[in-house]
Homo-oligomer: A and B are copies of this chain.
Amino acid sequence: MVRPLCSAAIRSRTPKDPVRKVVPITDGIVLGGDGFVVFAGPCAVETREQLFASADAVAAAGAGILRGGAYKPRTSHRSFQGLGPEGLSLLSEASARTGLPVVTEVMDPRDVDRVAESSAILQIGSRNMQNFALLREVGRRGLPVLLKRGAAATLDELVAAAGYIQAEGNDRVILCERGIRGFDPTTRYVLDLAAVPVLRERTDLPIIVDPSHGTGRSVLVGPMAKAAAAAGADGLMIEVHANPEQALCDGMQALRPQEFAQLMSELRRLVPLLGRRMLRPQSVSESKHLGTADEFIAP
């Protein structure tokens, strides 16, 4: 029998897991290491009532960080563009109310200082992953940065984009897989979970996953959130809206509060099995009024 050798070279098979960088945020929240952090909240800040309903719900369910957009990158200029400065004020109020630090997106280098006043983490959206002027500006500002993968970006390009931030002296970068463009209209994007172990090989930065944008449909968020945790993610970003049918943006992918609470309950059983512990702010864990603090391992 002729036995031609397989043409594919056998590359190194030893998984390289460098010492992970930990990115401390505030009040006991740390990305990387053995923690697992859930970022949750509405896609966009719409009104005080809407934001507070969502913020209270995600805080009660154990989220570690509150998300919400004040500046929204919308495909059409006719769509709701976010509340801007008014949205930032509401986020500050919601943060004070719940004890959760805030992550919110900045889209314009001229807005970085303003957004930084209301935000513990600056988010760069996927459309701006290679907006190098913006990357440099958030690099200079020094706050932790959440950098979302572009929908057509390779993982090497994502790591290179993070390099623009790091080159300004800011090492606190968190990467986020949020889905890439695919050919099947079934899902909004293709959530590329292999990005998690691949990025662990190529970089020491923490990696979170956004199953809300990555799938575009609320019924898929739970399964993909658990899958992301099992793949080794350091956290999740999940959209929650008290009334998704009325959402001004991306309602189809938002979980209702009770759906989110159910998912958090499942994650609390899954995450320890994966060698991690779920984190939320120390002050929130110690406070009494949420009533569920004892379910959590304080950081």
Contacts and interface: CB of A to CB of B under 8 A. Distances in A.
Would you call the interface of chain A mostly helix, strand, loop, or mixed? loop
Contact of A192 (B128, B190, B198): B190
A12 to B, nearest CB: 9
A65 interface: no
Interface string A102-132: 0000011111000000000000000110111
Contact of A11 (B110, B229, B252): B252
A86 B26 CA distance: 43
Contacts of A15: 219
A191 interface: yes
A77 B139 CA distance: 12
Interface stretch (A33-41, A55-63, A176-184, A277-285): A176-184
Interface string A146-171: 00001110111100110110010000
11 contacts: A4-B78, A4-B79, A4-B80, A10-B251, A77-B163, A131-B131, A151-B152, A182-B190, A197-B219, A223-B232, A226-B230
Given A75-B156, A230-B270, 19 more contacts: A6-B247, A10-B244, A11-B217, A13-B244, A14-B219, A74-B132, A76-B163, A107-B132, A110-B133, A151-B152, A152-B183, A154-B185, A154-B186, A155-B184, A182-B192, A190-B194, A194-B223, A224-B231, A273-B273
